[in-house]
Structure 1
Amino acid sequence: MKLLLKSITILDDTSKHHKKKLDIFIDHGVIKKIDKNLKEKADKEVNIENLHVSRGWFDSSVSFGEPGFEDRETIANGLDTAGKSGFSAVGLNPYTNPVLDHSGSIAAVKAKANGHPVQLYPIGALTNKSEGIDLAELLDMKGAGAISFGDYKTPLRNPNLLKIALQYAQNFDALIQSYPQENRIAGNGMVNEHENSTSLGLKGIPNLAEELQITRDLYLLEYTGGKLHIPTISTEKSVKLIKEAKKKGLDVSCSVAIHNLVLNDDELKEFDGNSKVMPPLRTKKDAKALIKGLKDGTIDMVTTDHNPIDVEHKKVEFDNALYGSIGLESAFGALCTQFEINEAVKILCSGKKRFQLEDYKIMEGEVADLSLFIPGEKYRFTEKDILSSSKNSIFLHKELKGKALGVITKNGIILK
């Protein structure tokens, strides 16, 4: 397919066209020309007022449910949602039934996504069935296409297992993930342990539960070497711990969920199950520290931590609601409430290098990997903005800023 993008503002600080308003001609997935007033014949012309383009955004943590939880979301609709939300690539969590813990399951989900404009990169379970007892078939899964290994939202109780994983993974340059929570400290807590949890009568999870686990894992990494990724940190001290580890030269990275940047535990006052996420929403002070950590490079990437949950498991008493929120559709608009547009785009483009994925520039001769969006417009996020099969958005009825429109990749175009 030949595509012509007219009068589009380019935001790519790795390209000589950064901040310029130009036309882009794409022929069968390759950028052929970038200039003013292009006249090339195209199968499709895109001409939208104030349209912007950047390198393709990557989300390192999404869940679609399939296989096993197709009632929550399918791979097909999940990828369509990601594309219309501006993401050209996603890391798929092994939060499935059965979990993705062997090469056959990795190959199966990749086959489901074959040919879709949005690239799907599976994350394999670190342990068999994500039970934390025996390591899964890591080498075989990497051969089948897994980009990393971790048990989704399931902390490793056994430190020796993480030690062995970090040592073993060095043989084939694999990235190990460890979810940052010490469950024996978290106990039966559901929300952040602070003033709001006390006043609302909800059991709290102290910051210590996260920070203790991170401290343990960083000590193990220092001992073993290897590469460690800590997903979705949420506290001020967690940022400090990772900053210190990086200064020591440890090969560690981390992410933060966008809702932990934008929202805080004041949301709990409504007892809305959509605000029940893991890690929990923390305080304004924590959110401020997370934003600072993202700006100074301590935090490597953001994630939507997209997790569709069906209505039967969300619209129930707060105590019984499952953890999780969808986040793809609201990601760009939410992030732009905290960061100016160039900064927000740069953040959304980060993460690919850590997972050893291609990151193409917006230059002639490069493979097309583009995210399309319109910045600036403020609006209230409602159910009509939700594209997922499940509707459990933590950002429902929140004011956002800017809208993602779609993606263009070597496999085609998706536009809202």
Structure 2
Amino acid sequence: MHILLKNVKIIAPSSPLHGQQKDISIQNGIIHQVADNLEDDRATVISGNNLHVSAGWMDIFAHFCDPGQEHKEDLYSGVKAAATGGFTTVMVVPNTQPALHTKPQIEYVLSKTRHTSVNVLPIGAATKNVEGTGLAEMYEMHQTGAVAFSDGLKPVQSPGLLLKALQYIKAFDGTLIQLPDDHSISAHGLMHEGIYSTQLGMPGKPALAEELIIQRDIELAKYADSRIHFTGVSTRKSVELIAAAKAAGVKVTCSVTPYHLSLTDALLINYDTHLKVNPPLRSADDVQALQEAVLQGTIDCFATHHLPQDWDAKQVEFEYAKNGMIGLESCFGVLRRYLPQLPLEQLITMLTEKPRSIFKQPQPALEEGAAANLTIFDPESEWEFTTAHIASRSKNSAYLGHQLKGKVIAIVNNGQLNK
């Protein structure tokens, strides 16, 4: 396949081509030529005003629900959602049925997605069947292709077991991912504990449930001298704890969701179940703190927490609705719309280089002779997010009807064009 990108601005901070306006010729999955005024009669041409290109984007925490709940999402629809959102690499959580907790389950994900336009990388379960009672065979899963370890949506509650996991993964310099949530404190909470939970008469989930786990796990990672990544951080104190740990030399990194950067608990006034997520939407002060932490570099990268739910899981009373929203297709538009002060170069670095660095994935090169792993986008395009922009099997997004900024045009990866 021949592809020709016409007059695209290159965003690749570590490349000498960064900031240049060029044509890019791609032949059989390889960047053949980067120059001015290229022509190719056999090529599929991508052109337009204000087109930008970067290395392919990477998401580190998404749920493709396959195997077990394919009516919400399957690996192929998940790939389509990722490609629509500009992602060429996605790490998927192990909370499937059965869980991704053995070698055959890791092989299933890898073999089923091997020939797609998106690299789907499984996160292996840290404990057997993500039940939090005994360690899973992490070394075997690592050898098979698991890129990190986590119990995903059900974070490890036992400090002793988490310490064993952190010590275990040191054998191969692995990384453990925690979604910080102390279930013994937050079990019955439906939203952030604060003035709005009081006004709405809903049980609150205190920030303490998140901050205690972060504080505890930082100490465990420090003791084990092992790598831990917190995803879905959502409070001011959480980022302060992580900043202090980084300064002290602890091997800790963190990511934030687009919705925690843009939405607050005040929006729950209408009991919109699309806004029911875990960790919950926090206060305006927390959102401001998260935005500042992104700008300052305390937060390393973004994670969509793409969590498809079918119609029945959301069209019920708030108390009974399932947590989560989809996020792959809207990610870039939300970040550009609600975080306009973030320089484009820094945003792209947080979508490309940073996540790959944390999880030891090869960095795609934007140069002649390299395999084409690219995202093409218009960072200034204004558009309304509708169900027509959703490739996921599920439509549970709180951003439907929102005006977003920054639109994905296409991805090129694994010799395929998705637009």
Bin of the TM-score, shorter chain as denominator length: over 0.9
1-structure distance, mates of 2:336, 2:347: 6
Q: Tell me the amino acid that sits aligned with residue 344 of structure 1.
A: L
Q: Tell me the amino acid that sits aligned with residue 351 of structure 2.
A: L
Q: In structure 2, what is the equivalent of residue 67 of structure 1?
A: 67
Query: 1:3 deviation in Å?
Result: 1.4
Q: In structure 1, what is the equivalent of residue 290 of structure 2?
A: 290
Query: 1:340 deviation in Å?
Result: 4.2
Query: What is the number of equivalent residue pairs in this alignment?
Result: 415
Query: 1:187 deviation in Å?
Result: 3.1
Q: Tell me the amino acid that sits aligned with residue 163 of structure 1.
A: L
Contact 1:155 1:181 in 2 (8 A): yes
Q: Tell me the amino acid that sits aligned with residue 381 of structure 2.
A: E
Q: Find the partner of 1:345 among 329, 340, 348.
A: 348
Query: 1:332 deviation in Å?
Result: 0.6
2-structure distance, mates of 1:3, 1:379: 26
1-structure distance, mates of 2:344, 2:268: 29
1:126-150 Cα deviation digits (max 9, x unpaired): 1011000000010111111100010
Contact 1:30 1:410 in 2 (8 A): no
Aligned 1:138-287 pairs, distance under 5 A: 138-287=138-287
Contact 1:87 1:406 in 2 (8 A): no
Contact 2:61 2:304 in 1 (8 A): yes
Q: Find the partner of 1:354 among 354, 358, 361.
A: 358
2-structure distance, mates of 1:183, 1:83: 34
| Deviant stretches of 4+, over 6 Å | none
201-210 vs 8-17, greater mean Cα deviation: 8-17
Q: In structure 1, what is the equivalent of residue 125 of structure 2?
A: 125
- SS state of the match for residue 61, structure 1? strand
11-20 vs 69-78, greater mean Cα deviation: 11-20
Q: In structure 2, what is the equivalent of residue 26 of structure 1?
A: 26
Query: 1:365 deviation in Å?
Result: 2.1
2-structure distance, mates of 1:52, 1:299: 24
252-261 vs 406-415, greater mean Cα deviation: 406-415
Q: In structure 2, what is the equivalent of residue 383 of structure 1?
A: 387
Query: 1:344 deviation in Å?
Result: 2.4
2-structure distance, mates of 1:234, 1:204: 15
1-structure distance, mates of 2:157, 2:47: 54
Q: In structure 1, what is the equivalent of residue 396 of structure 2?
A: 392
2-structure distance, mates of 1:341, 1:235: 24
Counting aligned pairs with the same residue, the percent is 38
Query: 1:36 deviation in Å?
Result: 0.5
1:373 aligns with 2:377: yes
57-66 vs 5-14, greater mean Cα deviation: 5-14
- SS state of the match for residue 149, structure 2? coil
1-structure distance, mates of 2:42, 2:14: 27
- SS state of the match for residue 328, structure 2? coil
Aligned 1:106-117 pairs, distance under 5 A: 106-117=106-117
233-242 vs 6-15, greater mean Cα deviation: 6-15
Contact 2:115 2:414 in 1 (8 A): no
Query: 1:41 deviation in Å?
Result: 4.5
TM-score of the pair, normalised by structure 1: 0.97
Q: Tell me the amino acid that sits aligned with residue 390 of structure 1.
A: S
Query: 1:32 deviation in Å?
Result: 1.8
Query: 1:401 deviation in Å?
Result: 0.6
1:348-402 Cα deviation digits (max 9, x unpaired): 2231111111112312222211111112122222222222110100212222111
2-structure distance, mates of 1:355, 1:42: 38
Q: Tell me the amino acid that sits aligned with residue 277 of structure 1.
A: V
- SS state of the match for residue 213, structure 1? helix
Query: 1:158 deviation in Å?
Result: 1.2
Q: In structure 2, what is the equivalent of residue 332 of structure 1?
A: 332
Contact 2:3 2:25 in 1 (8 A): yes
1-structure distance, mates of 2:234, 2:222: 22
1-structure distance, mates of 2:90, 2:211: 27
Q: In structure 2, what is the equivalent of residue 97 of structure 1?
A: 97
Q: Tell me the amino acid that sits aligned with residue 39 of structure 1.
A: E
Q: In structure 2, what is the equivalent of residue 313 of structure 1?
A: 313
Question: Structure 2: which 5+ runs fail to align?
Answer: none
1-structure distance, mates of 2:329, 2:157: 34
Contact 1:115 1:411 in 2 (8 A): no
393-402 vs 199-208, greater mean Cα deviation: 393-402
1-structure distance, mates of 2:42, 2:58: 28
1-structure distance, mates of 2:153, 2:117: 28
Query: 1:43 deviation in Å?
Result: 3.5
2-structure distance, mates of 1:52, 1:61: 25
1-structure distance, mates of 2:365, 2:287: 31
1:263-285 Cα deviation digits (max 9, x unpaired): 11112011111000010000111
- SS state of the match for residue 329, structure 1? coil
Q: In structure 1, what is the equivalent of residue 367 of structure 2?
A: 363
- SS state of the match for residue 101, structure 2? coil
Aligned residues: CA RMSD: 1.2
- SS state of the match for residue 352, structure 1? helix
Contact 2:372 2:415 in 1 (8 A): no
Contact 1:28 1:410 in 2 (8 A): no
Q: Tell me the amino acid that sits aligned with residue 200 of structure 1.
A: L
